[in-house]
Structure 1
Amino acid sequence: MFLLAVAFLAAAHQIGFTDMPRLSKGLSNMVVLVYELFPPSPAAIPSALEALAETVQMAFVGTVIGFFLSLPAATLALRTIFPPYITTVVRALLGLVRTIPALFWAVIFVIAVGLGPLAGTLALSVYSLGYLSKLYYEAFEAVDQDVLDALRCTGAPRLAIVRYGIIPESMNTIISQLLFMLEYNIRSSTVLGFVGAGGVGLLMVSYIETLQYSSLTTVVAMTLVLVILIDFVSGYVRRRFLPAVRVVKLKR
């Protein structure tokens, strides 16, 4: 315990956490910032609505593209259908894609295609591909083997087993995880604008750079309302139509 306390104090000193004059000045600056954040500026509402619409479009298109790519990728990763030399390679590639955060994918695509929502959409597509593929192949492998064996007895090929056995048995999970991925991407796409990938984050950056803090408050408040609304709608749909499905939460 003593060593842990020493390590904590050493680390805190190293990062400047024990610099009391600096912390005191920072607290004073925070008071000034909070004063400048209010009241919110109504003039920023039109720009905020446009940016939020772009954010939702990015998340929607990116999620849909990632979804359609993840289904064949998850199928190729099935150990119950394909041999190990295929599933091992596919899972390794999906693991690599999943390891890279959406923000870094956004940086890559900003370099590749330039600033704007296209880069953000591509980043969310790849990010969705990585996570949905893992969630789906785990759900597919949990399907009752009796169903698959019955199809094999009829001489059904691999893709037919997936189409008529695995997909129907996993449909609730597929839809539920898709809804959560859309919800997650809307939240995460608000950050992508900070690296130039479009959406409401780009508008926030412009207000920060020009010191328009009251306009920033308007954008943040409207973004919060959007996220709460999306959470409510997504949760309602899952509870109402998919009550038996457990949604796997992603680490943020």
Structure 2
Amino acid sequence: MTERTMQPAGLRASLRGKGAVPRGTYDGSFFRRRTLAIVAAAVVFVALGAVSGTFVGFDSIQAILDVPGGLVWMATQFVPSLPSLDKLGTILPALGSTILASIASSCTAAVLAYICAVLGSRSVGVGGPVPLVVRGVASLFRNIPVVAWAFILLFSFKQSEFTGFFALFLTSFGYLTRCFLESADEMSTGPVEALRATGATYGQIVAHAVIPLSITSVVSWVLYMIETNIRDATLIGILTGTGIGFVFDIYYKSFRYDVAGLVVLAIIVVCIACELVSNYVRRRIL
């Protein structure tokens, strides 16, 4: 005898009266409500886009019509030519300088960020006001865009390699500190508690528990930061007059679009190569 037949007739009637759906019966109200919610969200999204576009004077229809012409212009003007290959002697050293600056800023920031993250961690930190101070500094540095840092530092250090390095370093420090804090707080506290129970010092706990447990995550975040800084360093170079960004700016403003296209192509190749290497290293350590 099934569950439905075992129910008294009066109980089944009361359930139907209350709008309850018997087991095995299709209820389309849930899907209707979900569809209406999705449609309402889409309408709100489109309405917000239309209001914002009208406020700033953006003509979406004209923009769509201009897309084919823009793509044709890019395909004809930014294609590297044979004469542009003669500029590789200028492009490659600047590209190498950008890569080295990105790696140096990321690694330097990673070392300091890891020290601050360990000291400011809620699970393995030193306690007191240190966690609050570390998180506040990390949030401040992370929420200021790298372009803003470049503009601020230009007044102090002028256009130089150090200005670009320092701007990348400050942003990387804030971002990595936040990431390392999350990694330290999420790791298992069992080994840490075991070492504390044996009377190990704070340095021994960090060396034998914190670093081995978090090193995989740390390496992954540093590799990601190097990738990001290589991309950001191009824009920073335009502002600071250094690196591959400065070379691109010179040829672009000189209407040498073929050479500027070669610079863009070189940047794309480097970014893809860096991502492939980073993914390979992550697969090996994870």
TM bucket by the smaller chain? 0.7 to 0.9
Structure whose alpha-carbon radius of gyration is higher: 2
| Corresponding letter in the other structure for 1:12 | G
Higher relative contact order (CA 8 A, sep 6+): 1
- Structure 1 range deviating more: 75-84 or 56-65: 75-84
The alpha-carbon distance between structure 1 residues 12 and 114, as it changes in their structure 2 partners (threshold 3 A), is same
1:250 paired residue number: none
Residues 1-252 of structure 1: pairs in structure 2 closer than 5 A: 5-18=46-59, 31-32=72-73, 34-40=75-81, 41-80=84-123, 81-196=125-240, 198-240=242-284, 242-243=285-286
Instruction: Give, in angstroms, the shift of residue 201 of structure 1.
Output: 1.1
The alpha-carbon distance between structure 1 residues 169 and 45, as it changes in their structure 2 partners (threshold 3 A), is same
| Corresponding letter in the other structure for 2:76 | Y
Which TM-score applies when normalising by structure 1? 0.85
Instruction: Give, in angstroms, the shift of residue 220 of structure 1.
Output: 0.5
- Structure 1 range deviating more: 4-13 or 113-122: 4-13
Instruction: Give, in angstroms, the shift of residue 216 of structure 1.
Output: 0.3
Structure 2: 5+ residue runs without aligned partners?
1-39
| Corresponding letter in the other structure for 2:173 | L
SS at match of 2:210: helix
> Retained in 1: the 8 A contact 2:78–2:260?
yes
What is the alpha-carbon distance in structure 2 between the residues aligned to residue 191 and residue 234 of structure 1?
A: 22
Instruction: Give, in angstroms, the shift of residue 196 of structure 1.
Output: 1.8
> Retained in 1: the 8 A contact 2:120–2:127?
no
What is the alpha-carbon distance in structure 2 between the residues aligned to residue 50 and residue 22 of structure 1?
A: 38
Which TM-score applies when normalising by structure 2? 0.76
What is the alpha-carbon distance in structure 2 between the residues aligned to residue 146 and residue 31 of structure 1?
A: 61
The alpha-carbon distance between structure 1 residues 5 and 74, as it changes in their structure 2 partners (threshold 3 A), is closer
State the Cα deviation string for residues 123-174 of structure 1 (Å, max 9, x = none): 1111221111111121122232221111112222333322222112212112
The alpha-carbon distance between structure 1 residues 83 and 210, as it changes in their structure 2 partners (threshold 3 A), is same
Q: Percent identity?
A: 27
What is the alpha-carbon distance in structure 2 between the residues aligned to residue 229 and residue 164 of structure 1?
A: 34
> Retained in 1: the 8 A contact 2:142–2:171?
yes
Structure 1: 5+ residue runs without aligned partners?
244-252
What is the alpha-carbon distance in structure 1 between the residues aligned to residue 105 and residue 251 of structure 2?
A: 26
State the aligned residue count. 242
